[in-house]
Amino acid sequence: MSLTPDSAPGQREEESILLDDAGVDPTVTGVLQRNGDALMFKKSTGAVDITQVGTDNKDLKVSATDTTAAFLFSKLIAANPSITLTKNNPGANETISIAANVSNIFSVTTLDAIALLSTTSSLPQDAFSGSSLSVVTAGDYLAFFEAEGRITNNNGIMAISVGLNGLNEVANSVHQYSGVNLGTTITIQRLNGLTPGNTVHGLFRKQASPGTVEIRSRTLVLMRIA
């Protein structure tokens, strides 16, 4: 459509326009005028032809199948309590800040030892001489246990593992190392659903004869991941 001279000089809130869309009689004229917060086109005969309702039509959808359009801020959800969404400059040039409190998402505790321990037993032994990492906050964790050790005979095998609430080995956590020279091995185990009071241990044992297992510097790390 194109503008034509004002059909009513002196009326600031309306303009005469000429419809020139395909399929529309180009001789039809009318006025575009305010109707509250809307704009309304009237033919010269006074009949309503086109109406634009409202002034805010910037709602969005997440995808083509989204059934409800809304403003951006209401479409953003902080699924984790450690994430915050903040609307800045309300009523002006608004922006959205997204912040994550990493200290709440992850917490790490570490246990180290360097004293020499040894065993000839195939039963789990506490690698930290009675020490363990205690769970303070409920959640899911990763346990990392790294140990430097050796056995006194090439035909023997040493193993390290993670224990939960004592010398109870967590399934599928055993790593093996064999050789008379010092070597380092690491086991990583996910522990889901831990609660305050649970304890995580680093364990070692002699898995096969002969020889004696020796364990030296070692580190146990517990990281909360959820």
Q: Which of 146, 148, 136, 145 is nearest to 189 (CA)?
A: 145
Query: Are residue 217 and residue 159 in the same domain, yes or no?
Result: yes
Average pLDDT over residues 159-182: 87
169 and 189 assigned to the same domain? yes
Is the domain of 92 the same as that of 30? no
Check if the beta carbon of residue 163 is closer than 8 Å to that of residue 170: yes
Q: Which of 55-69, 76-90, 110-124, 204-218 has the least mean pLDDT?
A: 55-69
Distance CA 85, CA 151 (A): 55
Rounded CA-CA distance 90/86 in Å is 10
- DSSP secondary structure letters along 40-99: EEEETTS-EEEEE--S----B-SSTT-S--B-HHHH----STTEEEEEESTTSS-EEEEE
117 and 218 within one domain: yes
Q: How many domains does the chain have?
A: 3
State the CB neighbour count (10 A cutoff) for residue 17. Answer: 18
Contact indicator for 129, 117 with CB cutoff of 8 Å: yes
Instruction: Please answer whether residues 59 and 71 qualify as being in contact, where contact means their C-beta atoms are separated by less than 8 angstroms.
Output: yes
Residue-wise pLDDT tens digits, 25-74: 555 666 666 666 666 666 665 444 444 444 555 678 888 888 888 888 88
Instruction: Taking residues 94-99, report their average pLDDT.
Output: 88
Give the domain range for residue 30.
13-52
DSSP 8-state secondary structure symbol assigned to residue 72: H
Residues 117 and 211 placed together within one structural domain of the fold: yes
Q: Are residues 94 and 115 in the same domain?
A: no
Q: Is residue 7 part of a domain?
A: no
Beta partners for 89?
none
Spatial contact of 32 and 39, defined as CB atoms under 8 Å apart: yes
Predicted pLDDT of residue 110 = 95
The mean of the pLDDT values for the chain is 79
Residue 63 domain-assigned? no
